[in-house]
């Protein structure tokens, strides 16, 4: 099979298909968080590292105002083109989530599927959380979903799933190449095997992510002096089933609430 060594984020059509699987559950969960933590008052939402805007699109269809930013201009273009096709406002912009200025403040922000861990050093992660707080309205919420490093069990070290739309099908695999607990850096291999009626090829990539144990994340949040952890869930995205994070927890969705100071 032909192999293309490139960032998976440079291929928004395939990314959007393969990461679309959980979209309905994630969208519903974001709305449930709005209801439970904000009495449904959030009409303006924000997504840092929005990628192809798959969640922004689904929320905009529900009548919510959502702005997003991402480093990758191809993903941003894909997101805005989809909005345009569906007569929705084009609200995705190229920017770095470490430090940025959004158009307006929001009540609720969300950042799922490990994007936060793309900030591979502490100053970037701290700067991001503080920058988010500055632009969140009083009492607002920031939902962050990612994989923690469990301390009492071996972390899951590979995942594979597939998706199909019409004649296009994509199979993906993600696996750990290297894990340095000391440097708190993990390197993952990820490929998309793409099948169309006329062509089959593999997009092959390596991703670097910062690792967090439950204590490392809690202490980072504390250090921001801007946020408190108001709730914790897992990737089943069930608002009725909050979880208690412990040393074996792996997939966690944190609900951060902006401090009133
Ligand atoms: C796993 S994807 C998630 C995309 C989207 N949030 C979703 O749920 O499908 C991670 C995204 O983070 C973006 N990204 C990585 N580092 C970034 C940074 N410093 N600032 C903004 N976006 C970044 C990548 O370009 C990519 O689109």
Residues 19-57: pLDDT tens digits? 987 899 999 999 999 999 999 999 999 999 999 999 999
Q: Give the ligand 1 atom nearest the CA of 100.
A: 20
Task: Please tell me the CATH code under which domain 18-149+211-258 is placed.
Answer: 3.40.50.150
Nearest CA to ligand 1 atom 8: 112
Kindly report the average pLDDT of the chain as a whole number.
96
Query: Is the shortest distance between the CB of 107 and ligand 1 below 6 Å?
Result: no
Give residue 260's pLDDT band: very low, low, confident or very high (50, 70, 90).
Answer: confident
CA–CA separation, 68 vs 45, rounded Å?
Answer: 9
Q: Is the pLDDT of residue 261 over 90?
A: no
Query: What share of the chain has pLDDT > 70, as a percent?
Result: 100
pLDDT greater than 90 at residue 239: yes
pLDDT greater than 80 at residue 204:
yes
What's the CA-to-centroid distance between 190 and ligand 1, angstroms?
15
Beta carbon of 224 within 6 Å of any ligand 1 atom: no
pLDDT for the residue numbered 119? 98
DSSP secondary structure string for all residues of 20-55: TTTHHHHHHHHHHHHHHHHTT---EEEEET-TT-HH
Q: Is the CB of 163 under 6 A from ligand 1?
A: no
State which H helix or E strand residue 129 sits in.
Answer: helix 122-134
Task: State the maximum Cα–Cα separation within the chain, in Å, rounded to a whole number.
Answer: 59
Instruction: State the closest ligand 1 atom to the C-alpha of 49, by its place in the atom list counted from 1.
Output: 22
Q: Is the model's pLDDT at 130 over the cut of 80?
A: yes
Q: What is the DSSP letter of 95?
A: -
Distance between CA atoms of 84 and 78, rounded to whole angstroms?
A: 10
CA of 49 to the centre of ligand 1 (A): 4
Question: Which residue among 14, 79, 118 is best mutated to probe the pocket of ligand 1, counting the most ligand atoms within 8 A of its Cβ?
Answer: 118
Average pLDDT over residues 195-206: 97
Establish whether residue 75 lines the binding site of ligand 1, counting it when its CB lies within 6 angstroms of any ligand atom.
yes
Cβ–ligand 1 contact at 9 (below 6 Å): yes
pLDDT of residue 244: 98
Atom of ligand 1 nearest to the CA of 114: 1
Burial 80-116 (b: 16+ CB within 10 A, else e): bebbeeeebeebbbebbbbeeebeeebbbbbbbbbbb
SS3 content of the chain, % helix, strand, coil (to 5): 30, 35, 35
* Residues in contact with 188: Cβ distance below 8 Å, sequence separation at least 6, in sequence order: 174, 175, 176, 177, 206, 207, 208, 209
Q: Is the CB of 221 under 6 A from ligand 1?
A: no
The domain segmentation of the chain, as residue ranges, is 18-149+211-258
pTM for the whole thing?
A: 0.96
CA dihedral defined by 203, 204, 205, 206, rounded to 10 degrees? 160
Predicted confidence (pLDDT) per residue in 93-111, tens digit: 999 999 999 989 999 999 9
């Amino acid at each position: 099979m032909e192999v293309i060594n490139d960032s998976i984020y440079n291929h928004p059509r395939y990314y959007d298909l393969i990461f679309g699987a959980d979209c309905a559950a994630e969208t519903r969960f974001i709305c449930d968080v709005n209801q439970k933590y904000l009495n449904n008052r959030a009409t303006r939402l924000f997504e840092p590292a929005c990628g192809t805007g798959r969640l922004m699109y689904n929320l905009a269809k529900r009548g919510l105002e959502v702005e997003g930013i991402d480093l990758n201009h191809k993903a941003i273009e894909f997101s805005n083109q989809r909005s345009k096709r569906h007569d929705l406002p084009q609200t995705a912009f190229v920017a770095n989530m470490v430090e940025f200025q959004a158009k307006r403040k929001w009540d609720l922000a969300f950042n799922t599927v490990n994007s936060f861990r793309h900030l591979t050093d502490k100053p970037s992660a701290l700067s991001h959380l503080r920058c988010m707080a500055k632009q969140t309205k009083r009492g607002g919420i920031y939902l962050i979903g990612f994989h923690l490093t469990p301390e009492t069990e071996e972390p899951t070290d590979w995942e594979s799933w597939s998706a199909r739309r019409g004649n296009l099908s994509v199979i993906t695999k993600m696996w750990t190449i290297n894990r340095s607990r000391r440097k708190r850096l993990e390197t993952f291999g990820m490929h998309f095997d793409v099948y169309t009626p006329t062509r089959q090829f593999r997009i092959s990539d390596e991703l670097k992510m910062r690792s967090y144990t439950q204590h490392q994340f809690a202490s980072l949040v504390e250090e921001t002096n801007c946020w408190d952890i108001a709730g914790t869930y897992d990737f089943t995205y069930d608002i009725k089933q909050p979880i208690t994070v412990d040393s074996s927890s792996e997939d966690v969705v944190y609900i951060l609430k902006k401090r009133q100071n």
